[in-house]
């Protein structure tokens, strides 16, 4: 039934007017001839009347009982379709795998007030991610394409301490290759930086403070507090001499 109304909703009002015109013409011809309307004529009238009113009631039916079947096609970094992705819709939850992509089913009653939903695609093992916005309108079988790219949304955070595990203030901390985004630690020794990596990936950090020594180190990005230890230069020199 929903499929019938989906098709009917695309029929223009001009067709409805034409159907009503046919009915009026049948009644007019019969009245002029002064005859009783035969059963076959009534059948034609009912059929034409159904065709006439269906496009009018279809939107009302679909708004109540219709289901959007949002189809998603995911492309990898090279613009080629991939079957390795995970797709999640902001409305409708996790997408189910169908031929040629993924599908999220959204009942009309649950669609957002503005009709807009977000679709997210990812390949966690390859640290690829992407998303697209889809507006739910008259088409109950919309299609959206997501182009994946490297996930660089993670942050890296932690604390800089000395050899005695005392937080260090005034340390310049940054991600190697993104020196312009470096931050300076406050009294608690904390820092918070864009990692330019995905959660779980390794990111190379450097820490600089006069009188202290440390080489850049690899740390994990994401919701993992890391600790960078700086040694005083004379301590480092003694260790090197030993």
Listed residues 93, 118, 150: the one ending a domain: 150
For residue 70, how many other CB atoms are within 10 A of its CB?
25
E strand or H helix at 229: strand 225-229
CATH, residue 163: 2.60.40.1120
The pLDDT of residue 51: 56
- Phi and psi for 142 in degrees, rounded to 5? -75, 155
Instruction: State the pTM of this model.
Output: 0.63
Asked if 141 and 76 sit in the same domain, the reply is yes
For residue 208, give the nearest of 235, 239, 174, 157 by alpha carbon: 174
Asked if 159 and 226 sit in the same domain, the reply is yes
pLDDT tens sequence for the chain (242 residues): 454 434 444 544 555 545 555 555 555 555 555 566 566 655 655 665 555 555 555 455 545 557 899 999 999 999 999 988 999 999 989 999 998 899 999 988 888 999 999 999 999 889 999 999 999 988 889 999 999 999 999 999 999 999 999 999 999 999 999 999 999 999 999 999 999 999 999 999 999 999 998 899 999 999 889 999 999 986 545 555 44
Total tally of structural domains belonging to the chain: 3
The pLDDT of residue 30: 58
Q: Which residues pair with 110 in a beta bridge?
A: none
Asked if 236 and 165 sit in the same domain, the reply is yes
Asked if 113 and 145 sit in the same domain, the reply is yes
Asked if 233 and 193 sit in the same domain, the reply is yes
The pLDDT of residue 239: 52
Supply the mean pLDDT for the chain: 81
The pLDDT of residue 9: 46
Distances in Å between the Cα of 132 and the Cα atoms of 28, 106, 144 are 55, 16, 7
Asked if 143 and 159 sit in the same domain, the reply is no
Asked if 94 and 45 sit in the same domain, the reply is no
Asked if 115 and 89 sit in the same domain, the reply is yes
**What tokens does 166 get?**
């005392």
* pLDDT 10s digits, 199-235: 999 999 999 999 998 899 999 999 889 999 999 986 5
Listed residues 87, 121, 150: the one ending a domain: 150
Listed residues 22, 38, 65: the one ending a domain: 65
**What tokens does 185 get?**
């630690």
Place of tokens 């989906």: 6
Q: Which domain holds residue 28?
A: 2-65
The pLDDT of residue 145: 96
The pLDDT of residue 28: 53
For residue 205, give the nearest of 181, 189, 236 by alpha carbon: 181
């Amino acid at each position: 039934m929903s499929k019938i109304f989906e098709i009917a909703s695309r029929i223009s009002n001009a067709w409805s007017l034409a159907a009503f015109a046919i009915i009026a013409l049948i009644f007019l011809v019969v009245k002029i001839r002064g005859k009783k309307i035969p059963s076959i004529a009534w059948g034609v009238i009912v059929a034409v009347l159904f065709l006439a009113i269906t496009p009018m009631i279809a939107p009302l039916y679909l708004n109540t009982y219709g289901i959007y079947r949002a189809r998603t096609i995911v492309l990898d970094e090279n613009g080629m379709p991939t079957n390795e992705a995970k797709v999640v819709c902001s409305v409708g939850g996790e997408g189910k795998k169908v031929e040629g992509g993924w599908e999220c089913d959204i009942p009309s009653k649950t669609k957002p007030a503005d009709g807009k939903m977000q679709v997210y695609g990812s390949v966690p093992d390859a640290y690829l991610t992407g998303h697209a916005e889809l507006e739910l309108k008259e088409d109950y079988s919309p299609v959206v394409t997501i182009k994946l790219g490297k996930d660089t949304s993670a942050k890296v955070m932690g604390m800089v301490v000395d050899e005695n595990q005392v937080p260090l203030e005034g340390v310049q901390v940054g991600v190697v290759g993104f020196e312009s985004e470096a931050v300076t630690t406050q009294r608690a020794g904390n820092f918070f930086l864009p990692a330019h990596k995905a959660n779980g990936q390794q990111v190379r950090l450097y820490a600089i403070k006069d009188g202290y020594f440390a080489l850049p180190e690899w740390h994990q990005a994401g919701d993992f507090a890391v600790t960078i230890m700086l040694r005083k230069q004379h301590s480092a020199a003694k260790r090197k001499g030993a």
